Structure 1
Amino acid sequence: MDQRISFITLAVADVAASRAFYVDGLGWTPEMEADGVLMIRVGEHVILSLWDRAEFEEEVGRIAVADGVAPFTLAHNVATREEVDSVLDLARSLGREASAGEERVWGGYTGYFADPDGVRWEIAYNPGPVGQTVLP
Protein backbone atom coordinates (compact mmCIF):
# COMPACT_ATOMS: atom_id res chain seq x y z
CA MET A 1 0.00 0.00 0.00
CA ASP A 2 1.33 3.45 -0.93
CA GLN A 3 2.07 5.82 1.94
CA ARG A 4 -0.32 8.71 1.22
CA ILE A 5 -3.66 10.37 2.02
CA SER A 6 -6.06 11.06 -0.86
CA PHE A 7 -9.15 12.47 0.91
CA ILE A 8 -9.81 14.15 4.23
CA THR A 9 -13.55 14.01 4.87
CA LEU A 10 -15.22 16.17 7.50
CA ALA A 11 -18.84 15.56 8.47
CA VAL A 12 -20.37 19.05 8.70
CA ALA A 13 -23.62 20.32 10.17
CA ASP A 14 -24.34 22.72 7.30
CA VAL A 15 -22.63 22.36 3.90
CA ALA A 16 -23.78 25.86 2.87
CA ALA A 17 -22.16 27.39 5.98
CA SER A 18 -18.99 25.43 5.30
CA ARG A 19 -19.02 26.65 1.69
CA ALA A 20 -19.47 30.24 2.85
CA PHE A 21 -16.45 29.86 5.14
CA TYR A 22 -14.02 27.92 2.92
CA VAL A 23 -15.00 29.22 -0.54
CA ASP A 24 -16.49 32.69 0.00
CA GLY A 25 -14.42 33.53 3.10
CA LEU A 26 -11.04 31.85 2.65
CA GLY A 27 -11.23 32.06 -1.13
CA TRP A 28 -10.68 28.36 -1.84
CA THR A 29 -11.90 26.92 -5.14
CA PRO A 30 -14.38 24.02 -5.21
CA GLU A 31 -13.32 20.98 -7.21
CA MET A 32 -16.82 19.47 -7.12
CA GLU A 33 -20.19 20.35 -5.59
CA ALA A 34 -23.34 18.25 -5.26
CA ASP A 35 -26.26 18.03 -2.85
CA GLY A 36 -24.77 17.44 0.59
CA VAL A 37 -21.09 17.56 -0.39
CA LEU A 38 -18.40 20.07 -1.30
CA MET A 39 -14.96 18.91 -2.45
CA ILE A 40 -11.93 21.21 -2.52
CA ARG A 41 -8.48 20.32 -3.85
CA VAL A 42 -6.02 21.13 -1.05
CA GLY A 43 -2.89 19.56 -2.51
CA GLU A 44 -1.64 18.04 -5.73
CA HIS A 45 -3.34 14.74 -4.90
CA VAL A 46 -5.43 15.60 -1.81
CA ILE A 47 -9.13 16.55 -1.58
CA LEU A 48 -10.90 18.05 1.43
CA SER A 49 -14.45 16.69 1.35
CA LEU A 50 -17.08 18.52 3.41
CA TRP A 51 -20.00 16.12 3.72
CA ASP A 52 -23.45 16.62 5.22
CA ARG A 53 -23.41 15.03 8.68
CA ALA A 54 -26.62 13.00 8.21
CA GLU A 55 -25.40 11.58 4.90
CA PHE A 56 -22.01 10.82 6.47
CA GLU A 57 -23.68 8.89 9.30
CA GLU A 58 -25.87 6.97 6.86
CA GLU A 59 -22.82 5.66 5.01
CA VAL A 60 -20.06 5.55 7.64
CA GLY A 61 -21.85 5.13 10.97
CA ARG A 62 -22.99 7.14 13.99
CA ILE A 63 -20.77 10.07 14.89
CA ALA A 64 -19.42 10.04 18.44
CA VAL A 65 -20.11 13.30 20.25
CA ALA A 66 -18.10 14.53 23.23
CA ASP A 67 -17.18 17.78 24.93
CA GLY A 68 -13.93 19.51 24.08
CA VAL A 69 -11.73 19.75 21.03
CA ALA A 70 -11.54 16.87 18.54
CA PRO A 71 -8.26 14.93 18.97
CA PHE A 72 -6.75 16.08 15.66
CA THR A 73 -5.89 19.24 13.75
CA LEU A 74 -5.50 20.07 10.10
CA ALA A 75 -2.46 22.18 9.26
CA HIS A 76 -1.80 24.83 6.65
CA ASN A 77 1.88 25.73 6.46
CA VAL A 78 3.05 29.11 5.19
CA ALA A 79 6.48 30.56 4.37
CA THR A 80 6.69 33.32 7.03
CA ARG A 81 5.58 34.27 10.52
CA GLU A 82 3.75 37.26 9.02
CA GLU A 83 1.65 34.93 6.87
CA VAL A 84 0.60 33.03 10.01
CA ASP A 85 -0.71 36.25 11.51
CA SER A 86 -2.39 37.26 8.24
CA VAL A 87 -4.34 33.98 7.97
CA LEU A 88 -5.36 34.13 11.63
CA ASP A 89 -6.58 37.72 11.07
CA LEU A 90 -8.58 36.52 8.04
CA ALA A 91 -10.24 33.81 10.14
CA ARG A 92 -11.13 36.40 12.80
CA SER A 93 -12.57 38.70 10.12
CA LEU A 94 -14.85 35.80 9.12
CA GLY A 95 -16.15 35.60 12.70
CA ARG A 96 -14.09 32.59 13.72
CA GLU A 97 -12.33 32.13 17.02
CA ALA A 98 -8.55 32.30 16.42
CA SER A 99 -5.59 32.26 18.77
CA ALA A 100 -2.64 34.60 18.48
CA GLY A 101 0.45 33.32 16.71
CA GLU A 102 3.09 32.00 19.13
CA GLU A 103 6.73 31.00 18.98
CA ARG A 104 6.96 27.26 19.66
CA VAL A 105 9.72 25.35 21.48
CA TRP A 106 10.50 23.39 18.31
CA GLY A 107 11.44 26.62 16.49
CA GLY A 108 8.27 27.36 14.57
CA TYR A 109 5.50 29.91 14.88
CA THR A 110 1.84 28.79 14.89
CA GLY A 111 -1.70 29.69 15.78
CA TYR A 112 -5.11 28.01 15.49
CA PHE A 113 -8.62 28.81 14.35
CA ALA A 114 -11.84 26.80 14.33
CA ASP A 115 -13.98 26.27 11.22
CA PRO A 116 -17.81 26.46 11.47
CA ASP A 117 -17.95 22.90 12.88
CA GLY A 118 -15.16 23.47 15.42
CA VAL A 119 -12.43 21.65 13.45
CA ARG A 120 -9.12 23.19 14.49
CA TRP A 121 -6.78 24.42 11.78
CA GLU A 122 -3.16 25.06 12.66
CA ILE A 123 -1.53 27.85 10.66
CA ALA A 124 2.19 27.17 10.86
CA TYR A 125 5.55 28.57 9.88
CA ASN A 126 8.07 25.76 10.20
CA PRO A 127 11.61 26.90 9.31
CA GLY A 128 13.00 23.35 9.34
CA PRO A 129 13.34 20.77 6.58
CA VAL A 130 9.92 19.19 7.24
CA GLY A 131 8.31 22.62 6.90
CA GLN A 132 10.03 23.17 3.57
CA THR A 133 8.82 19.75 2.37
CA VAL A 134 5.14 20.74 2.65
CA LEU A 135 5.34 24.14 0.99
CA PRO A 136 4.51 24.40 -2.73
Structure 2
Amino acid sequence: MPDAGSREEDMRQRLNLILLGVRDVAASVAFYRELGWRRSTAGSDEFALFELGGVAVAFQSREAFAADAGLPDRQPGGFAGFALAYVARSAEEVYQVMAKAAELGATVTRPAGPNSWGHSGYFADPDGHLFEVLYEDGWIFDEHDDLVL
Protein backbone atom coordinates (compact mmCIF):
# COMPACT_ATOMS: atom_id res chain seq x y z
CA MET A 1 0.00 0.00 0.00
CA PRO A 2 1.26 3.47 -0.76
CA ASP A 3 2.08 5.66 2.21
CA ALA A 4 0.31 8.96 2.81
CA GLY A 5 3.09 10.87 1.03
CA SER A 6 3.06 8.95 -2.25
CA ARG A 7 2.02 10.62 -5.48
CA GLU A 8 0.56 9.10 -8.61
CA GLU A 9 3.75 9.87 -10.58
CA ASP A 10 6.00 8.14 -8.01
CA MET A 11 7.63 4.83 -8.79
CA ARG A 12 5.61 2.02 -7.22
CA GLN A 13 7.23 0.62 -4.07
CA ARG A 14 8.01 -2.86 -5.33
CA LEU A 15 10.53 -4.90 -7.25
CA ASN A 16 9.39 -7.29 -9.95
CA LEU A 17 12.59 -8.83 -11.31
CA ILE A 18 15.95 -9.69 -9.84
CA LEU A 19 18.41 -9.85 -12.74
CA LEU A 20 21.58 -11.89 -12.27
CA GLY A 21 24.39 -11.99 -14.80
CA VAL A 22 25.97 -15.44 -15.00
CA ARG A 23 28.82 -17.14 -16.88
CA ASP A 24 26.66 -20.03 -18.10
CA VAL A 25 22.85 -19.74 -18.09
CA ALA A 26 22.30 -23.50 -18.47
CA ALA A 27 24.65 -24.29 -15.56
CA SER A 28 22.88 -21.73 -13.36
CA VAL A 29 19.49 -23.18 -14.28
CA ALA A 30 20.76 -26.66 -13.37
CA PHE A 31 22.14 -25.42 -10.01
CA TYR A 32 18.87 -23.79 -8.94
CA ARG A 33 16.75 -26.69 -10.20
CA GLU A 34 18.85 -29.02 -8.04
CA LEU A 35 18.19 -26.70 -5.08
CA GLY A 36 14.50 -27.37 -5.69
CA TRP A 37 13.45 -24.30 -7.67
CA ARG A 38 11.09 -24.72 -10.63
CA ARG A 39 11.89 -22.86 -13.83
CA SER A 40 9.12 -20.82 -15.44
CA THR A 41 7.97 -21.69 -18.94
CA ALA A 42 8.39 -17.98 -19.75
CA GLY A 43 11.80 -16.78 -20.86
CA SER A 44 14.30 -18.51 -23.11
CA ASP A 45 17.59 -20.40 -23.05
CA GLU A 46 19.37 -17.01 -22.94
CA PHE A 47 17.04 -15.44 -20.34
CA ALA A 48 15.92 -18.08 -17.83
CA LEU A 49 13.19 -17.14 -15.35
CA PHE A 50 12.21 -18.56 -11.97
CA GLU A 51 9.01 -17.25 -10.32
CA LEU A 52 9.50 -16.49 -6.63
CA GLY A 53 6.01 -15.61 -5.43
CA GLY A 54 5.31 -12.24 -7.00
CA VAL A 55 8.94 -11.56 -7.90
CA ALA A 56 10.99 -13.36 -10.53
CA VAL A 57 14.71 -13.98 -10.77
CA ALA A 58 16.20 -13.96 -14.26
CA PHE A 59 19.54 -15.43 -15.32
CA GLN A 60 21.23 -13.89 -18.35
CA SER A 61 24.83 -14.06 -19.56
CA ARG A 62 27.06 -11.48 -17.88
CA GLU A 63 28.15 -10.25 -21.31
CA ALA A 64 24.58 -9.70 -22.56
CA PHE A 65 23.48 -8.16 -19.25
CA ALA A 66 26.41 -5.72 -19.20
CA ALA A 67 25.76 -4.73 -22.82
CA ASP A 68 22.07 -4.18 -22.07
CA ALA A 69 22.98 -1.97 -19.09
CA GLY A 70 25.51 -0.02 -21.16
CA LEU A 71 28.37 -0.91 -18.81
CA PRO A 72 31.58 -2.87 -19.16
CA ASP A 73 31.57 -6.28 -17.49
CA ARG A 74 33.73 -6.55 -14.41
CA GLN A 75 34.75 -9.82 -12.92
CA PRO A 76 33.08 -10.95 -9.70
CA GLY A 77 35.03 -11.19 -6.49
CA GLY A 78 35.03 -9.62 -3.07
CA PHE A 79 32.00 -8.26 -1.29
CA ALA A 80 29.65 -6.36 -3.60
CA GLY A 81 27.54 -4.82 -0.82
CA PHE A 82 24.56 -6.92 -1.89
CA ALA A 83 23.08 -10.29 -0.99
CA LEU A 84 19.87 -12.17 -1.66
CA ALA A 85 18.28 -13.62 1.45
CA TYR A 86 16.18 -16.72 1.99
CA VAL A 87 14.19 -16.74 5.25
CA ALA A 88 13.85 -20.36 6.36
CA ARG A 89 10.85 -21.68 8.27
CA SER A 90 13.06 -23.27 10.95
CA ALA A 91 16.64 -23.29 12.20
CA GLU A 92 17.00 -26.84 10.87
CA GLU A 93 16.09 -25.65 7.37
CA VAL A 94 19.03 -23.20 7.42
CA TYR A 95 21.43 -26.11 7.84
CA GLN A 96 19.64 -28.24 5.24
CA VAL A 97 19.67 -25.51 2.57
CA MET A 98 23.30 -24.63 3.25
CA ALA A 99 24.34 -28.30 3.01
CA LYS A 100 22.43 -28.76 -0.25
CA ALA A 101 23.96 -25.62 -1.77
CA ALA A 102 27.47 -26.78 -0.82
CA GLU A 103 26.77 -30.25 -2.23
CA LEU A 104 25.79 -28.60 -5.53
CA GLY A 105 29.02 -26.62 -5.77
CA ALA A 106 28.22 -23.36 -3.99
CA THR A 107 31.04 -21.75 -2.02
CA VAL A 108 30.15 -21.49 1.65
CA THR A 109 31.45 -18.07 2.70
CA ARG A 110 30.19 -18.39 6.29
CA PRO A 111 28.98 -21.76 7.56
CA ALA A 112 25.52 -21.98 9.07
CA GLY A 113 25.50 -21.45 12.79
CA PRO A 114 23.74 -19.78 15.68
CA ASN A 115 24.13 -16.05 16.21
CA SER A 116 22.70 -13.42 18.56
CA TRP A 117 19.32 -13.31 16.80
CA GLY A 118 18.83 -16.80 15.31
CA HIS A 119 20.69 -18.96 12.78
CA SER A 120 22.27 -18.04 9.47
CA GLY A 121 24.90 -18.86 6.91
CA TYR A 122 26.11 -17.47 3.60
CA PHE A 123 26.98 -19.10 0.31
CA ALA A 124 28.01 -17.82 -3.09
CA ASP A 125 26.38 -19.53 -6.06
CA PRO A 126 28.60 -20.74 -8.93
CA ASP A 127 28.69 -17.17 -10.33
CA GLY A 128 29.56 -15.57 -7.00
CA HIS A 129 26.10 -14.19 -6.17
CA LEU A 130 25.86 -14.04 -2.38
CA PHE A 131 22.93 -15.65 -0.56
CA GLU A 132 22.14 -15.51 3.12
CA VAL A 133 20.04 -18.36 4.49
CA LEU A 134 18.55 -17.32 7.81
CA TYR A 135 16.04 -18.15 10.50
CA GLU A 136 14.87 -15.80 13.21
CA ASP A 137 11.83 -16.11 15.46
CA GLY A 138 9.19 -13.55 14.58
CA TRP A 139 9.13 -13.62 10.78
CA ILE A 140 5.55 -14.11 9.59
CA PHE A 141 4.45 -15.60 6.27
CA ASP A 142 1.00 -15.31 4.69
CA GLU A 143 -0.99 -18.06 2.97
CA HIS A 144 1.04 -17.48 -0.23
CA ASP A 145 4.36 -17.94 1.62
CA ASP A 146 5.08 -14.20 1.24
CA LEU A 147 6.86 -12.38 4.03
CA VAL A 148 4.58 -10.12 6.10
CA LEU A 149 6.32 -7.05 7.54
Taking structure 1 as the reference length, what is the TM-score of the superposition? 0.86
| Cα deviation, residue 96, structure 1 | 1.8
- Count of aligned pairs: 131
**Larger radius of gyration between Structure 1 and Structure 2:** 2
The equivalent residue for 1:63 is: 73
% same residue: 36
CA 1:78–1:37 in structure 2 vs 1: closer, same or farther (change >3 Å)?
Answer: same
Q: Does 1:5 align with 2:5?
A: no
| Cα deviation, residue 83, structure 1 | 0.4
Given the alignment, which residue of 57, 72, 83 partners 2:82?
72
Which residues of structure 1 form unaligned runs of 5+?
none
Q: CA contact under 8 A between 1:114 and 1:120: conserved in structure 2?
A: yes
Post-superposition Cα deviations, 1:37-89, rounded to whole Å, max 9, x if no partner, equal 1110112x100011111211221122344641221100011111100000011
| Cα deviation, residue 119, structure 1 | 0.6
The equivalent residue for 1:36 is: 46
Which structure has greater helix proportion? 1
Which residues of structure 2 form unaligned runs of 5+?
1-10
The equivalent residue for 1:51 is: 60
Larger RCO: 1 or 2 (CA < 8 Å, sep 6+) = 1
RMSD across aligned positions (CA): 1.9
Corresponding letter in the other structure for 1:132: I
| Cα deviation, residue 33, structure 1 | 3.6
